[in-house]
Amino acid sequence: MTLMVVGLSHRTAALEVLERASLDPAAAASTVSAVTACPHVEEAFVLSTCNRVEVYAEVTRFHGGVAAVGEALSRRIGLPLDELGDQLYVHYEDAGVEHLFRVACGLDSMAVGEAQILGQLRSALRELHASGRGGGALDRLLQTALRVGKRAHSETSLDAAGASLVDAAIARAEAVLGPVAGRSALVVGAGAMSALAATTLARAGMGVVVANRTPERAERLAAAVGGRAAGLDALRAEVAAADVVVSCTGAVGHVLDVAVVASALLDRPHRPLLLADLALPRDVDPDVATLPGAHLVDLEGLGADLAGTAVADDLRAVRTIVTEEVAAYAASLRVADVAPTVVALRAQARHVVDTEMRRLAGRVELDDATRAEVDRAVHRIVEKLLHTPTVRVKELAEEPGGAGYAAALRALFDLEVVGGAAGAPRAGGAPLSGSVAEAVGRTP
C-alpha cells in the first residue's frame, strides 16, 4: 500500500466549486465510506476547510484509487469528473507526505503561517479514530503532520508571516502615497488573509471597506474593523474611491481586470492607486501595472521586499523543517517495511535451532542442566551471527532504495514474510504530483 492525496484548493479551483465541495462531518464520513468501498482503497480520511477539500488514502492501485476519490468528489460537487479533473490535484508517495506537512505548517494556506489548520488535522484524526480505522498508516501520518506543524510554529515565528506581507504592502503604499493614516483602503475578500489585511490596515489608521461576493461575510469583517461593507457589483466605484486596494479572494481568474481598474482610474485623475495582490492564483490582472497611476505589487514583489528579514528566514526555516521531516518519515517507513523480514529471519533461525535441539535430544542422552546449557550456547551463537546483518539491514533501509537489502535477505534465506513489507511500494519511491487529468495517464 502507499499514500495518495486527491484534492482541490484555492490554488486550483473556482470559489463556487470550493463552496460546493465543502464537507461537514457527516458529508466527510459519507465521502470516506464511498472511497473505502473501492477494493483498491484500504483506508482514507478527509481534510476539509474553507480553502481546501482533500482526501488522503492508502491505496493498492494508483489508478483505481484516483478514480474512486475523483468520482466521490465529483458526486459531492455535482460536476462531471471530466469537468472537475483539471481542478483536482494528485500527490503520491513522498509528494503526498510533503504536501500534508506543508499544509500542517500553514505554508499552503491563503494566510501564510495560519495555525487554524492544526485544528482541522486534529478533527480528521478524531474522525479516523471514531470510525474505528485508527492505529493504521494514516493515523501515524496525521499524528506526524500535527507534530511537524507544532514544530514549525514553536521553532519559528511563522505565525507573523501573513501580517508581515500586509505590513510590506503598507510600506509600498507609503512610498507611493505618503502617510496612509486617514486614507481609504478597499479589501476584496473576507477570508483569513483578508481579515488579517483589514485588521492591519485599520490599525494603520485607514478607513476600511470590505467587498465580498457573500454580503454577510463582508458585513461581519467590516464590523470587526469599524469599516463598511460593499458587494462585488460595486467594485468599480469602490476602487475609484480607494487609495489602497488589497485583494485576496481565492477565486480562480482575475477579480480586478484591466477594464475595471482603468475605468476606476478615470474617476480619480492624478491620484495614484496602490494595489496589493495577496492571492494565489492572482486576483489582479498583471497588465494593470501598465496603467498610468496604478502601482501593482503581488506576493512575489512583497516577498522580495521581505527578503533578508526575519520573516524570510522563518519561511526558509519552515521549508527546511518540512524537508527534514519528509525524509525522516520516509526513512521510518522503509525501516518499518524491513521489520517483517527481520522477524521472519529470526523466526526461521529459532525454528532451525529448535529442530536441531530436538534431534540432538533423540540421539544423545543429556541431563537437564547440560541440555539447557547447550540450548543457550546454540541460541547465543545464532544471535551473534544474526546481530550484525539484522542491525545493518535496518540501517541500510533508512536510505533511499534500502528496501532492496531486505529483498536480498528474503531471497537468500527463502523467507516467507507475513505483513505488507514484501515488495509493497512505500513512500520513498518516485514522488508524483499533478492534476487528475494528468494522473490518469501515469503508471506508477
Catalytic residue ranges = 50
What span, in angstroms and rounded, lies between the C-alpha atoms of 361 and 400? 46
| 317's grid cell | 526555516
Contact 192, 109 (CB under 8 A): yes
Contact 190, 206 (CB under 8 A): no
Q: Which long-range contacts (CB under 8 A, 24 or more apart) does 285-292 make?
A: 285/254, 285/256, 285/257, 285/258, 285/261, 287/258, 288/256, 288/257, 288/258, 288/261, 291/258, 291/261, 291/262, 291/265, 292/265
Give which of 240, 113, 250, 261 is closest to 188, Cα–Cα.
250
Secondary structure (DSSP) of 218-262: HHHHHHHTT-EEEEGGGHHHHHHH-SEEEE----SS-SB-HHHHH
| 126's grid cell | 478524531
Q: What are phi and psi of 310, to 5 degrees?
A: -60, -35
Contact 421, 340 (CB under 8 A): yes
CA dihedral sign, ordered 54, 58, 64, 68: negative
Four-point Cα dihedral 395, 399, 404, 408, nearest 10: -20
| 111's grid cell | 494566510
For residue 105, what is the enclosing H or E element? helix 94-105
What span, in angstroms and rounded, lies between the C-alpha atoms of 184 and 390? 69
SS3 state of residue 217: helix
For residue 366, what is the enclosing H or E element? none
**How far, in Å, are 322, 369, 403 from residue 269 at the CA level?**
48, 105, 68
What span, in angstroms and rounded, lies between the C-alpha atoms of 19 and 292? 36
